[in-house]
Amino acid sequence: MTIDNFKVLTPEEKLKELKYSGELLGSYDRNSENNGPKVPGDIFALYDFWVYLSDDEETIIPSRRNPLPASEEV
- How confident is the model over 52-61, as pLDDT tens digits? 999 999 999 9
Domain residue limits at 14: 3-72
Average pLDDT value for the chain = 91
Centre a 10 Å sphere on the Cβ of residue 53 and count the other Cβ atoms it contains.
21
Domain count of the chain?
1
* Contact status, residue 63 vs residue 49, Cβ threshold 8 Å: yes
Confidence class for position 43, pLDDT limits 50, 70, 90: very high
DSSP string, 20-62: HH-EEEEEEEEPPGGG---EEEEEEEETTEEEEEETTS--EEE
Distance of CA 26 to the CA centre of its chain: 10
Statement: residue 4 has pLDDT above 80: yes
Confidence class for position 71, pLDDT limits 50, 70, 90: low
| Entry pTM | 0.86
